[in-house]
Amino acid sequence: MSVPHISAFYFGAIALVLIGLYAILVKKNILKMLIGLSIMETGVNLLLVSIGYISGRSAPILSEGIGPNQAVDPIPQALVLTAIVIGVATTAMALSAVIVLYKRYGTLNIEEIRRLRG
Partner 1 sequence: MLKRGLAIITLLIIGYWLAQGLAGVPFGQDKMLVGQYYLDHVKEQTGSVNAVTAVVVNYRGFDTLGEVTVLFIASTGVGALLWERKKRRTAKTEGSIVLTTGTRLLVPFVILFGAYIFIHGHLTPGGGFPGGATIATAFLLLYMAFTMYEIPHKAFEKTEGLVGMGYVIVGLIGLAIGGYFLFDWIWQTWGWGHDNIGRLFSGGFIPIIYTIIGLKVGTELSGIIDNMLKEEVSE
Among the candidate windows 32-40, 44-52, 109-117, which touches partner 1 by CB under 8 A?
44-52
Q: Please identify, using beta-carbon distances, which residue of 6 and 31 lies nearer to partner 1.
A: 6
Phi, psi of 58 (to 5 degrees): -110, 180
75 lines the binding site for partner 1 (CB under 8 A): yes
Which of 86, 104, 114, 115 touches partner 1 (CB under 8 A)?
Answer: 86
Determine the Cα–Cα distance for residues 118 and 115; give it in Å rounded to an integer. Answer: 5
117 lines the binding site for partner 1 (CB under 8 A): no
Helix (H, G, I), strand (E, B) or coil at 68: coil
Among the candidate windows 32-40, 76-84, 105-113, which touches partner 1 by CB under 8 A?
76-84
Determine the Cα–Cα distance for residues 118 and 102; give it in Å rounded to an integer. Answer: 17
CA 50 vs CA 3, 45, 88, 92: distances in Å? 21, 9, 21, 26
Looking from the CA of 6 toward its CB, the CA atoms found within 13 Å total 14
Task: List contacts with partner 1 (CB under 8 A).
Answer: 4-7, 9-11, 14, 17-18, 21-22, 25-26, 47, 50-55, 59-63, 68-69, 71, 73-75, 77-78, 81-82, 84-86, 88-90, 92-93, 95-97, 99-100
